[in-house]
Amino acid sequence: MADDVEYPALYLKRGEDQRLRAGHLWVFSNEVDVKRSPLTGFEPGETCAIIDHQGKAIGVGYVNPNSLIAARLVTRGLDHAFDRSLIVHRLNVALALRERLYAEPYYRLVFGESDGLPGLTLDRFGDVLVGQITTAGMERIKDSITEAIAKVLKPRQLWWKNDASVRTLENLPSYADLGVGEYGAPPIVREGGLEFEIDPVGGQKTGWFYDQRENRDRLARLVAGKRVLDVFSYLGAWGMRAAAFGASEVVCVDASQAAVDAIGRNAERNGFADRVRAVRADAFDHLKALREARERFDVVILDPPAFVKRKKDFAEGRLAYRRINELGMQVLAKDGVLVTCSCSYHMPRAALLESVQQGARHLDRQVQSLISLQQGPDHPVHPAIPETDYLKGFVCRVLPA
């Protein structure tokens, strides 16, 4: 019963425990019984016991009275405290999976809810770790998380890249700093036998996108001897992998000068300076310019940032996906390959393929969908939490109608 627990109780309204009992970890503010447990009585990030309407404990979590997601469940039942030893245990469980999957220590080590640590992301780059905290509950025990990471992984450096826009929803400040270790040379990530220099402070997200690694592996059968265009290239991961698989020429396009400079360094580092070049440009503008110049590529890769960040942006975002895919197809050779992706959770897989098909019909082209793409296994999908299944993509063959 709730009276026996050491944590303050957060009571749910009648019937609002069903999603949690089915496996989800979130409690929305309108599901809380505010008469029995007023949200104003909690501090942001405070640990709580989540209790159903009948007084039965569901588990231990943390609460943020200022957020739409008012609480997140961390452990079921009341036997385990939300503390350093629980985090150590969850890190070890997460590590066991990644060590089974990958020969080298380069992967996403913690993927939030899917690894039982909602609000925490952790990427591993050898002996360097880059973490991101997105909730008040995790921010509140950041020191315990840091200690747990140091105990399990003994990193040379642990960077905190706590500048995600979602932190504003939790009323958290934005910052990036070194949590463990001393400043030194930039971290290196290894993928597919290549090395890339990353920036854990100034880079995007945690500095690298491991979620696309297995999808980039699929380029092996598609690019040998081909001319490849990598749009929204960031550090050139897709383009560089294409070069390693034998592409004759690779053009990477990104709007960031820092990214373009990094592509140059990474091409040099991997011995591709003669075949990989980077252009600083807006993707939409550059694709139009390439179309007007009648440039053609055998393979076009489109890996944009999320165009649909919120549900209400869906109509506008879907149009952006259609436009970018149509522009990509306009610079494809006659029997070309389009690799198209979306990391927008609110953009359904079927809607992405539909946007490709609509663009193709508008251009009087025919599309064959060859391979369906999803996030890698170091970003495991939690079956009860649809929000963890966000990355989708297709490898398509584009032919004249």
Instruction: Give the total number of structural domains in the chain.
Output: 3
Active site residue 341: no
The pLDDT of residue 198: 93
Task: State whether 389 and 305 are in the same domain.
Answer: yes
Task: State whether 15 and 124 are in the same domain.
Answer: no
The pLDDT of residue 77: 95
Domain-embedded: residue 51: yes
Q: How far apart are CA 115 and CA 58, in angstroms?
A: 19
Q: How far apart are CA 198 and CA 271, in angstroms?
A: 17
Task: State whether 60 and 112 are in the same domain.
Answer: no
Domain boundary among 43, 76, 109: 76
Q: How far apart are CA 296 and CA 6, in angstroms?
A: 66
Task: State whether 156 and 219 are in the same domain.
Answer: no
Q: How far apart are CA 201 and CA 258, in angstroms?
A: 12
Task: State whether 253 and 121 are in the same domain.
Answer: no
Domain-embedded: residue 113: yes
Domain-embedded: residue 368: yes
Domain-embedded: residue 201: no
Domain boundary among 134, 159, 180: 180
The pLDDT of residue 6: 84
Domain-embedded: residue 195: no
The pLDDT of residue 1: 37
Task: State whether 218 and 292 are in the same domain.
Answer: yes
| CA angle, residues 194, 97, 155, in degrees to nearest 5 | 65
365 phi/psi in degrees, rounded to 5 = -115, 165
Catalytic residue among 252, 341, 343, 396: 343
Contact assessment for residue 134 and residue 168, using Cβ atoms and an 8 Å cutoff: no
Q: Which of 291, 294, 358, 290 is nearest to 323 (CA)?
A: 358
Range of the domain at 358: 209-400
Bridge partners (DSSP) listed for residue 25: none
Contact assessment for residue 283 and residue 260, using Cβ atoms and an 8 Å cutoff: no
Q: Is 227 helix (H, G, I), strand (E, B) or coil?
A: strand
Domain boundary among 51, 76, 101: 76
Domain-embedded: residue 286: yes
Instruction: Record the tokens describing residue 284, joined without a space.
Output: 């939409």
Burial of 357 (0-12, 13-18, 19+ CB in 10 A): middle
Q: How far apart are CA 134 and CA 45, in angstroms?
A: 11
The pLDDT of residue 2: 41
Q: The CATH number of the domain where 94 resides is what? A: 3.30.750.80
* 191 CB-near residues (< 8 Å, 6+ apart): 106, 213, 216, 237, 241
| CA angle, residues 273, 279, 282, in degrees to nearest 5 | 155
Instruction: Record the tokens describing residue 2, joined without a space.
Output: 């709730």
Q: The CATH number of the domain where 27 resides is what? A: 2.30.130.10
Domain-embedded: residue 194: no
Q: The CATH number of the domain where 283 resides is what? A: 3.40.50.150
Q: Per-residue confidence of the chain (401 residues) as pLDDT tens digits?
A: 344 448 999 999 999 999 999 999 999 999 999 999 999 999 999 999 999 999 999 999 999 999 999 999 999 999 999 999 999 999 999 999 999 999 999 999 999 999 999 999 999 999 999 999 999 999 999 999 999 999 999 999 999 999 988 899 898 999 999 999 998 888 999 999 999 999 988 888 888 999 999 999 999 999 999 999 999 999 999 999 999 999 999 999 999 999 999 999 999 999 999 999 999 999 999 999 999 999 999 999 999 998 988 889 999 999 999 999 999 999 999 999 999 999 999 999 999 999 999 999 999 999 999 999 999 999 999 999 999 999 999 999 999 98
Bridge partners (DSSP) listed for residue 196: 189
The pLDDT of residue 203: 84
pTM over 0.85: yes
Q: Which residue has the tokens 């913690």?
A: 110
Domain-embedded: residue 203: no
